[in-house]
Structure 1
Amino acid sequence: MTSVRTTHVGSLPRPESLVRLMYDHQEGRGDPAELEAAVGDAVHDVVAMQHTAGIDVVSDGEMGKPGFVNYVRERLGGFGGQAPPWSIDDLDAAPELAVAQYGGEAGAHIMPANCEGAVTYEGAAAVARDIETLKLALDKTGHDEAFVPAASPGCIATGSPNLHYPDYDSYLDALADAMAHEYRAIVDAGLLLQLDCPDIPMAGHTAFWCRDEVSRRGLVGFAERHVAAIDRALEGIDPSRVRLHLCWGNYEGPHHLDAPLAELLPTVLAGRPTMISFEAANPRHEHEWEDVRDLPVPDDVVLMPGVVDTLNNIVEHPRLIAQRLQRYVDVVGPDRVIGSTDCGFGTFVGFGRVGAQVAQMKLRAMAEGAALVRA
């Protein structure tokens, strides 16, 4: 029987020493050589951890990035200044949760930028360094399959206000053309590319600077435009080497305003990427396997349901993980299901309720659960 394989979304808990060094770097202080050495050590350790836990497709844990999207301010020309933070509608019902998660030092270091000029890609050296560091860690562990996350054009656009381009479409296309260089570098290096796309599900319940675009186009129309930007950026890239991650926000909150997966998934399935990651473990979205079952999933699509929650410290039982995986195996078969996490464990530096030890336990449980499905 074909094995059900395992992976995760990308970011993993960073060592506290690395968190401090990254904060210094963001503030324009510290020794770049010291930071680079610390990143290399952290990537080696985190790849070894995933290998030991039994994860099939690993990542560098985003150890060298301050966050899954704000890292681009150092890789894109035309960005600068300090953008205002976005707010999340469902947290209005629980403001204490917003303060607890975003009100401290970690929240102050998200530091999104504005688009103040023509967008250009200036990150060739940085992405090459990411690739080399990850490959060295893979060689040391003997692991042979890995992915690198990167922000999607829409993810960048929603978080960084446009102060330069005449309209949203021009801005989005400029981002797609610039980030295409990073995407190609990752795939050309023999690694899988993951595009982080929280912009698509979160557009319905988040006060991004471009909320009027969501209102004008509608949630599905907004998603279609962002998928079109992804397809533009992936021109000439093998779609089977690309994963797309959907997320409603990796934060503790009611999530009672989350858009249904069934409303957005057909648009995503029509795009180029053939591996689709989505939340399927947390109590707001676990039930949506029934919607996936009832949708026509193209024959070339691999489903990557989250079967482990990244926002609590309870380690899922392997049998529960196997049950969650089995639902999707019954829909598309075991060779088209890869078990994953709902989101990352450390989306921004200093963020994350789950520490490194529990994250490793959760990944191990996922591997054990996948083994039960194989049996």
Structure 2
Amino acid sequence: MIRTSHVGSLPRGPELAPLLLARDKGEPYDADEFDRTVQAAVDEAVRRQVEAGVSIVSDGELGKVGYSTYVIERLSGFGGHTPRKPARDLAQVPELAKKLSHIMGSQEFTRASAIDKVALINLQPLHDDIRRFRAALDRHGAGAQAFMNSASPGLITAFQPNQYYPSHEAYLADLVAAMRPEYEAIVAAGFQLQLDCPDLAMSRHTGYQDLTDEEFLAVAEANVEALNAATAGIAPEQMRMHVCWGNYEGPHDFDIPLEKIIAVVLKARPATILFEAANPRHEHEWTVWKQADLAGKVLAPGLVDTCSNYLETPELIAQRIERFAAIVGKDRVVASTDCGFGTFAGYGKIDPAVAWKKLAALRAGADIADGRIA
């Protein structure tokens, strides 16, 4: 059976988002209430994923305010708030940017910078995430495989700018040591480790938009080297990585083409690669994967768009699967999503009910493709 999965984050409900944002801002909150609310949300998320036919499920990242900035509660050395540089494509269409903000909500989380030496100080939030996920799997996840997300070293540098270290490489070196215990703990718990790596694509037109392509690729190379060093003790088959160009409905006309970054992406150790393949800016790039050396890699293309509430038909999903199965065989294809359904608390365009329908459509499309591919 062709497996299905998704990128990780699922919509956080109105009960959970305020608690996550309060904790992120250092405001008072009831720790017991927080744990109960997150546990209930993870239970429901696992149940709904299994019900939708998802083969490889996650905890929805529901205990985190966001997929990247959560690290500031686990690592020392971060402080302040640095406003994000507008994405290069949205900067040219300011009225659209305002409309998107009204539709998707505002990104209210803290965007700290590295202002001192970065080191691991508190891994308890991870152990709490693992405990809640394991409990939900025991109750609702019979037969499902499981993965848990973690920020890659390069992603952290992209969202938490360097204001302390003498170089990007020096910053990465401390992040390797700081994040390695998180990565190893996730695998030790029996989950696949997913490294989130939009720094290898999206950052070209966001944080690194002032660099040349060549300069950006040098940064990306350093980021992959750091990821490989941090995961040196983990088998590639136990890891997945996600590469994307930004989970927002903008023009994306400054996205760096896949053909320019694929050589760097393929140097990363994780065996499974999740990437955008459904939205209008990147669906055509399946031909780039066709031309690449994919020895040992499993492709998890995004087959449904996470920026649109249009519901893809199972037949369309099956056709998209067939493209990639023709490249690597159906046993090395996982039907996935372009990005997450809830990358940050209180922020996102996809209606939760539509998210579950999209995941069910993935299963239906995978079943169609499975029946047609020898």
Same fold? TM cut 0.5: yes
Aligned length: 369
Please report how far the alpha carbon of residue 218 of structure 1 lies from its aligned counterpart in structure 2 after TM superposition.
2.2
Superposition pairs of residues 78-227 of structure 1, within 5 angstroms: 78-102=77-101, 106-141=105-140, 142-206=142-206, 208=207, 214-215=211-212, 218-227=215-224
**Matching residue of 2:370:** 374
**Selected match of 1:324 from 309, 320, 340:** 320
Alpha-carbon displacement from aligned partner over 1:121-157 (angstroms, at most 9, x marks no partner): 1232111111111011011012441111111111110
**Selected match of 2:263 from 253, 263, 266:** 266
Please report how far the alpha carbon of residue 315 of structure 1 lies from its aligned counterpart in structure 2 after TM superposition.
0.8
Alignment partner of 1:357: what SS? helix
**Selected match of 2:16 from 18, 23, 28:** 18
Over 3 Å counting, the alpha-carbon distance change for 1:121 and 1:143 in structure 2 is farther
1:315 & 1:230 partners in 2: Cα distance?
35
**Matching residue of 2:288:** 291
Instruction: List gaps (5 residues or longer) in structure 1.
Output: none
Quick one: which amino acid aligns to residue 303 of structure 2?
V
Alpha-carbon displacement from aligned partner over 1:304-355 (angstroms, at most 9, x marks no partner): 1000100111110000000001000000001100010000011000111111
1:132 & 1:305 partners in 2: Cα distance?
29
Asked if structure 2 preserves the Cα contact closer than 8 Å seen for 1:5 and 1:339, the reply is: yes
1:168 & 1:211 partners in 2: Cα distance?
16
Alpha-carbon displacement from aligned partner over 1:50-81 (angstroms, at most 9, x marks no partner): 00000000001111000000111101111111
Over 3 Å counting, the alpha-carbon distance change for 1:177 and 1:215 in structure 2 is farther
Over 3 Å counting, the alpha-carbon distance change for 1:180 and 1:77 in structure 2 is same
Asked if structure 1 preserves the Cα contact closer than 8 Å seen for 2:107 and 2:346, the reply is: no
**Matching residue of 1:238:** 235
Quick one: which amino acid aligns to residue 74 of structure 2?
R
**Matching residue of 2:343:** 347
Compute the RMSD of aligned alpha carbons.
Answer: 1.6
1:101 & 1:29 partners in 2: Cα distance?
30
Over 3 Å counting, the alpha-carbon distance change for 1:50 and 1:326 in structure 2 is same
Alignment partner of 2:15: what SS? helix
Please report how far the alpha carbon of residue 103 of structure 1 lies from its aligned counterpart in structure 2 after TM superposition.
7.0
Quick one: which amino acid aligns to residue 185 of structure 2?
A
Question: Percent of counterpart pairs with the same letter?
Answer: 44
Over 3 Å counting, the alpha-carbon distance change for 1:244 and 1:52 in structure 2 is same
Over 3 Å counting, the alpha-carbon distance change for 1:281 and 1:134 in structure 2 is same
Quick one: which amino acid aligns to residue 17 of structure 1?
E
Alignment partner of 1:288: what SS? helix
1:258 & 1:217 partners in 2: Cα distance?
15
Give the TM-score normalised by the residue count of structure 2: 0.95
Alignment partner of 1:157: what SS? helix
Alpha-carbon displacement from aligned partner over 1:83-118 (angstroms, at most 9, x marks no partner): 221220000232123223447995341211111111
Alpha-carbon displacement from aligned partner over 1:227-253 (angstroms, at most 9, x marks no partner): 101001111111111111001000110
Instruction: List gaps (5 residues or longer) in structure 2.
Output: none
**Matching residue of 1:7:** 5
Quick one: which amino acid aligns to residue 138 of structure 1?
L
**Matching residue of 1:256:** 253
Alignment partner of 2:274: what SS? strand
Give the TM-score normalised by the residue count of structure 1: 0.95
2:89 & 2:74 partners in 1: Cα distance?
32
Asked if structure 1 preserves the Cα contact closer than 8 Å seen for 2:68 and 2:156, the reply is: yes
1:362 & 1:130 partners in 2: Cα distance?
25
2:7 & 2:236 partners in 1: Cα distance?
18
